[in-house]
Each structure stands twice: as C-alpha cells, then as structure tokens.
Amino acid sequence: MARRAARGDHAQPSQYLRSLPPLTRRLVRYIVGFGVGVAVGLAPYLGTLKVPLFRPLLSLYPAALQNTMIATSAAAMGILAVAIQWYGGARGTDRWLKRWFAGSLAAAIIGLALLIALHALFVQRIQIERGADEVSFVIGLSRSAACPCAREVSDSMCIQQVTLDEAEIARCWGDRAIRLASVALIFSYLLATGSFGVIVGLLLLRDETGTERGGRR
C-alpha cells in the first residue's frame, strides 16, 4: 500500500500538467527546459559533476561560496540560453514583442544581480553538526547596541554565540532591519524568477505567432 501511495504521489505532477491548457503546458516545459535542463547539461562545466582530469573554475573559490555560485551561474546560463534562442530567430518578430523581451531580459539580469548582492549582504550561513549541515539566517547591515556580542566578533560567530535563537538574532540586528532585509530578498527573488518566466513566455508567444503566420500562408 505504501508503495502504491508513493507511486501515486510521484505521478501527481504529470497528471496536473496534463490537465493544463496546451499553451500553458508548453510554457511549463519551456521554463523547466531552460531553467533546469540547461543547468543539468552544463553540470560538468559549472562544477557540480566531477569529471576525471578536469578541474572547473569553481574549484578556485572557497567552499563557502560554491553553493551560491552554482545556483546563480545556473540561473544566468538559463537566461543566456533564452536570449540566444530569441535573438537567433528574431527576424520578422513584432516590434512590441522585441521591446517587451528586451525590457524583461534587462529585468531578469538586474533581478539576478540584486539577488546575488542582497544575499551576500543579508544572509549568513552557519555550519552545524560539525559541518555536516548548514542553516541560514537573515541579518541586518550592522549590529545594535543591545547585542551581547563584542564588536570584533564576526557575524557568524555572533549567531553561534546567541544559540541560533531567531529572537536573539533579531535583538542583535534589529527586528525591523531584518524584516526589511527579508522583504528585499523576497522581491529580488520574485523579480529574477518572474522576469525569467516572462522572457520564456515571450519566446513561446513569438513561436506561436510565427506558427500561425506560417499556417495562414
């Protein structure tokens, strides 16, 4: 019974996908293809898959940065793949579609850059269980006078000293500052992912428009 239930749970996403309208199904496949497929195909180049006699550029960076760099570089490669696909067949595209694509592409790049910058400023990773796992916390730009940590103590060491208690972390960096940082992180994430969805949707819309024009001829 447990096996059957598990199989049913795994089958649910594909069942939901089949229930969507045809154009929406294609949009989902495009987003997954460009957002996931490109990163999977480039796994050896990005450094997520070890290849004998090959050391990726990622190996030059500290291990603390590698997870962030893999995620952001995969997103950047997905955006690049959509842009190449678009400009490879942009001739004959409606002017309004070109304007929308250029603006949305700029928004996706800006959103990704903002996400990288805000993550570096406001997210602090802490290793737990002797480095076997990591947890992340949102912090502010500076610690308040109410924080028990000494000024010379690093942010990561300070969080470990306050026993990973979110209430204590809010006391150190300020509850309002942490909320503002959280909002900025959420909006930068939505800008990056939403803009990526828009450029993929515009690519799909251009393909559909071209198919309709070809059928009319």
Rounded CA separation 42/27 (Å)? 22
DSSP letter at 20? S
The pair phi, psi for residue 125, each rounded to 5°, is: -95, 140
Q: Is 217 helix (H, G, I), strand (E, B) or coil?
A: coil
pLDDT of residue 4: 45
- Domain annotation covers residue 206: yes
Rounded CA separation 162/149 (Å)? 8
Is pTM beyond 0.85? Reply is no
Structure tokens at 70: 């893999």
- Domain annotation covers residue 188: yes
Rounded CA separation 27/20 (Å)? 10
Rounded CA separation 20/24 (Å)? 6
Residues of the chain scoring pLDDT < 70: 1-14, 92, 130-132, 210-217
- Domain annotation covers residue 12: no
- Domain annotation covers residue 6: no
pLDDT of residue 182: 96
- Domain annotation covers residue 77: yes
pLDDT of residue 82: 95
User: 193: Cβ–Cβ under 8 A, 6 or more apart, which residues?
Assistant: 111
Query: For the chain, how many structural domains are there in total?
Result: 1
pLDDT of residue 2: 41
- Domain annotation covers residue 10: no
- Domain annotation covers residue 49: yes
- Domain annotation covers residue 11: no
Rounded CA separation 159/171 (Å)? 11
Boundaries of domain holding 160: 17-216
